[in-house]
Amino acid sequence: MTQRIFLKISTLFFISSSCLAALPVSSDKNTTLSAAIGYTQFPDSHDQLLVISDYVTDLLTHGRQRHNMSYNFSVKQQLEHNFSAVNKIMFGPALYWQKAQFFGDVWEMVSPEFFNYRYDFASRNISVLLESDFYFNPIAKLMPFVSAGAGFGVAYTSYNDHAFPNIPSNSELHWSQSKTKASVALGAGFSVPISDHWAANLRYTYLYMGKADALLTPFQPISIHLNSQNVLLGINYSL
Amino acid sequence: MKKIWHVIIVLLLNQLIYSTALAATPLVEFIVKPNANQSLKPQNTGLLFYTLRNNTSTTFPLSYSFSSSLATVSPISNTCGNAIAANSTCVFTVQYQAPANNLRERLIIRVYYQGRAPLLDAINFNIDSTIACVLINTASYQTPFCQDQYQKVIEYTPNVFNTSNQNVLEEQTLGGVVGIFRNINNVEHFCYVGCGLRALGGSMPNGDTLFELASVTKTFTGSILGKLVTNGTLPSPNLAVAPHLPAGFMLNPNENPVTFQQLATFSGGVCYSDAPGIIQNPGTQIQNQNAFITDINGLNPDPASGNCFGGGANSVPIYATPPYLPTKNFYSNSSFGLLGQALMTIDGFGVLEPGFNDWMCQQITNVLNMTKTNGCLPAEAQNGTCGASTSTCLFTTDWTSAEYSEGYHITTGKQYESGSPFPFFPWAPAGGIRSNAVDMLKYIRANLGFATNNTQLALITGMLFAHQPNDYLPAPGLPIPNIGSQNPFRGGQGYAWVCMPSPTNGDRICGKIGGHPNFRSFLGFNKNQNYGLVILFNTGAISTNGSLHTGSVPTVGQIGASLLEHVS
């Protein structure tokens, strides 16, 4: 298991590094620290069947997303390059913290007559990527950029349902598990210089993590999709 | 306007979700569970009854597990088996076999039905050799009702039974029997709980063991009065008794108007309980009857006449102006004795022991098939010398084999001392009957209005009449209610009965306490629950009605009230 994770991580770093290796760049020692906060949208939840036994199957329905703040931190080094269309290239590690959370109704026996629980299905995701930002020449004061990165993420997935009054609490399901996933990020945005050291930026990032399965019973798993669209507002500080 | 509509829609949706949440329905659930705390004597068996309901249209398989090897699935009344059908209920029974030693154990019961989790229940068992009571294995004992009632008897009789014969406290008893009846959806349950010892060194009493009823006898006499009124033999309970008294009575002019109703509600100017002439100088039945006549003839409710005949305070007229009757409720055996003698005379019976027995047979015991109940002394009943007519009393043969409990009182050395059987007195209609739990449940069943045949209906109608509260009558203006007390019962005075709304739940509960030097008793019923009980103890107490009781041991009346108030 550990070997597989190591292999996966190595592969992702290799892909990320290869993107840059193809470019004629070198470091100029300009380092930028970034922090951003923003809004994340995960794919809508669909009804899912939760098989309890040969006799009882529950339906997870009326799923709704609870939006949580997402965070991004990065430390990037400016690289020298020879491309006239590109103003600068920043490269370095980036960390994304997100929480995918869905809640909805549980109908035992797939029947609204037995609407006996509410569920909360969530995944807290931390992704560590090697990410490159390609800044283009400024338009007015706006400096547009595109970014790409790859790395790995850890999805800490949990499922909890809560019984209504008159339903025994020992029948509630509580489950959690963490799993390492490959992560790939693609994005674009623009930066606005504020002073010599400070700049503000707004970026859109599509973060691919696939989905996480939850095997609550010995039968079929239920899933939560982790691919996300993120709009992040942040600040950069250049050393 | 648009925002207001949004708010309204959100509120409606919230309400819909909330109401749905309240309506949560388990797939399978326990709808009836036993009490979570169960007590048993070592080596006794307890039954736990669970009613399961399947709310779905799917039949589920069932399996069970217990945390203790002492518990097993019992076939008794078990209708669940290995499956519960769609949209149905079934009963699942657990048998718990108490070990030989004391034990406290928490039994976890799991019922698996293929749902998310098994149905779960926990029962705390207390196996204790000091528990004095056993649910007797007769009648309906293998029912949830009797199993539950057995637990309640244990719960409400803490420290009541002392079989050690050491440091015996007031209100404790060597032994006793509790008989409980209930009609649940036209199914009748009869439960008997035996406690302690029938006699020192003896065995446990059972439903057949005879005890002195003492003042519970008054309800018999009151029932007969009710019957004679409701069947028209007596046009009114407010008629004077004087014309119906046996030879020798010559009431004082101020006492002469005393009515049947006044005597039955302790408001007839009888200012002593036991007739003082007999207490001071007891003799033969005829001598005692003559002394009783003398004592009754000496009653004068006029406060200006001085003290009560034989000493003590005179009765207190309720209304300011003559006649001096009715008088303030004063509990009196002689009041019921006089009433009984008038009723026996109306029914054509003599007032001594043979007549009293024949009268009770004809009016009560024959009608209700009470085979062991009579007014004889134990030895007389067994050898047939109490004078009861075998042609009138249908069950005299059964009396010969009856088993009597020994009776005890507590000495100053805090030990039991056996006492003589209570003799026949002229106020036998107030306390002269001996009976057992089996017969008394037939009696309380009738008091709840349940008839086995048409001949019982007239008596039952009279019984129901006897339960009714009374005013002080005749009243010059607006009548004043006559409030009786049978601690802890306090309420409208019936014919011996005192009824009141239950302080716990408002049910109408009625009770009557009995106390002799060597026996105590309680008879009561909860009309709303079709529930009745009798408690028979073989040890007397100084404060038989509990009114002076301040100790830690509950009185017989308090035990009865607790059971009547916590039926469900």
Residue A194 Cα distances to A78, A198, B499, angstroms: 18, 5, 90
The residues with which A160 forms a beta bridge, in sequence order, are: A120, A174
Per-residue model confidence (pLDDT) at position B455: 87
Check pLDDT > 50 for residue B47.
yes
Top residue of B29, B116, B121 to mutate, by most chain A CBs within 10 Å, is: B116
Instruction: Determine the residue type at A233.
Output: L
What is the rounded distance in angstroms from the CA atom of residue B69 to the CA atom of residue B22?
A: 38
Residue A179 Cα distances to A5, A73, A113, B296, angstroms: 10, 22, 36, 99
Residue in B with minimal Cα distance to A58: B116
Check pLDDT > 70 for residue B20.
no
ipTM: 0.81
What is the rounded distance in angstroms from the CA atom of residue B404 to the CA atom of residue B518?
A: 13
Q: What's the average model confidence in pLDDT over B384-400? A: 95
Contact A164 B24 (CB under 8 A): yes
Q: Is B453 left (phi over 0), alpha (psi -120 to 50) or beta?
A: beta
Q: Largest Cα–Cα distance of chain A, in whole Å? A: 71
Label residue B7 by pLDDT band (50, 70, 90).
low
Question: CB distance from A84 to chain B under 8 Å?
Answer: no
Check pLDDT > 90 for residue A81.
no
pLDDT tens-digit map of A175-184: 999 999 999 9
Average pLDDT, chain B: 94
Q: How many CB pairs under 8 A join A and B?
A: 60
Contact B58 A167 (CB under 8 A): no
Question: Where are the domains positioned within chain B?
Answer: 27-131
Q: What is the DSSP letter of B487?
A: T
Count Cα atoms within 13 angstroms, Cβ side, for B509. Answer: 29
Q: Indicate the residue of A108, A115, A172 with minimum beta-carbon distance to B20.
A: A115
Contact A109 B27 (CB under 8 A): yes
Q: Indicate the residue of A52, A116, A172 with minimum beta-carbon distance to B26.
A: A116
Question: Using an 8 Å Cβ cutoff, are B97 and B45 in contact?
Answer: yes
Question: CB distance from B31 to chain A under 8 Å?
Answer: no
Check pLDDT > 50 for residue A50.
yes
Contact B24 A53 (CB under 8 A): no
Residues of B in contact with A171 (CB under 8 A): 115-117
Query: At what angle are helices B333-346 and B353-360 packed, to 10 degrees?
Result: 70
Q: What's the average model confidence in pLDDT over A127-153? A: 94
Question: Where are the domains positioned within chain A?
Answer: 2-238
Residues of B in contact with A56 (CB under 8 A): 27, 58, 114-116
Q: Which is nearest to A144 in space by CA: A87, A186, A199?
A: A87
pLDDT tens-digit map of B307-348: 998 889 999 999 977 889 999 999 999 999 999 999 999 999
Q: Tell me which fold the domain B27-131 belongs to.
A: Immunoglobulin-like (2.60.40)
Angle, CA of B81, B86 and B88, to the nearest 5°: 70
Distance from CA of B564 to the nearest CA of A (A): 29
Count Cα atoms within 13 angstroms, Cβ side, for A230. Answer: 29
Per-residue model confidence (pLDDT) at position A27: 46
pLDDT tens-digit map of B195-206: 999 999 999 999
Distance from CA of A207 to the nearest CA of B (A): 34
Q: Which long-range contacts (CB under 8 A, 24 or more apart) does B400-405 make?
A: B402/B208, B402/B210, B402/B372, B402/B378, B402/B436, B403/B198, B403/B208, B403/B209, B403/B210, B404/B209, B404/B210, B404/B211, B404/B378, B404/B434, B405/B175, B405/B198, B405/B199, B405/B205, B405/B209, B405/B210, B405/B211, B405/B519, B405/B536, B405/B538
Label residue A26 by pLDDT band (50, 70, 90).
very low
| Helix, strand, coil in percent for chain A, rounding step 5 | 10, 65, 20
10 Å Cβ neighbour count for B543? 15
Residue in A with minimal Cα distance to B20: A115
b/e per residue, A33-42, with b = 16+ CB within 10 A?
ebebebebeb
Q: Which is nearest to B489 in space by CA: B551, B556, B398, B415?
A: B556
Question: Using an 8 Å Cβ cutoff, are B356 and B388 in contact?
Answer: no
Check pLDDT > 70 for residue B128.
yes
Instruction: Determine the residue type at B315.
Output: S
Question: CB distance from A56 to chain B under 8 Å?
Answer: yes
Q: Indicate the residue of A114, A164, A173 with minimum beta-carbon distance to B21.
A: A164
Per-residue model confidence (pLDDT) at position B92: 94
The residues with which A41 forms a beta bridge, in sequence order, are: A229
pTM of the model: 0.79
10 Å Cβ neighbour count for B156? 18
Question: Using an 8 Å Cβ cutoff, are B238 and B474 in contact?
Answer: yes
Question: CB distance from B30 to chain A under 8 Å?
Answer: no
Contact B25 A166 (CB under 8 A): yes
Question: CB distance from A50 to chain B under 8 Å?
Answer: no
Contact A166 B26 (CB under 8 A): yes
Residues of A in contact with B22 (CB under 8 A): 164-165
What is the rounded distance in angstroms from the CA atom of residue B507 to the CA atom of residue B531?
A: 11
CATH class of A2-238: mainly beta
The residues with which B489 forms a beta bridge, in sequence order, are: B486
Label residue B507 by pLDDT band (50, 70, 90).
very high
Between B533 and B323, residue with greater pLDDT: B533
What is the rounded distance in angstroms from the CA atom of residue A35 to the CA atom of residue A165?
A: 44
Torsion of CA A52, A53, A56, A61, to 10 degrees: 30
Contact A56 B117 (CB under 8 A): no
pLDDT tens-digit map of B453-478: 888 999 999 999 999 999 999 999 99
Question: Using an 8 Å Cβ cutoff, are B250 and B464 in contact?
Answer: no
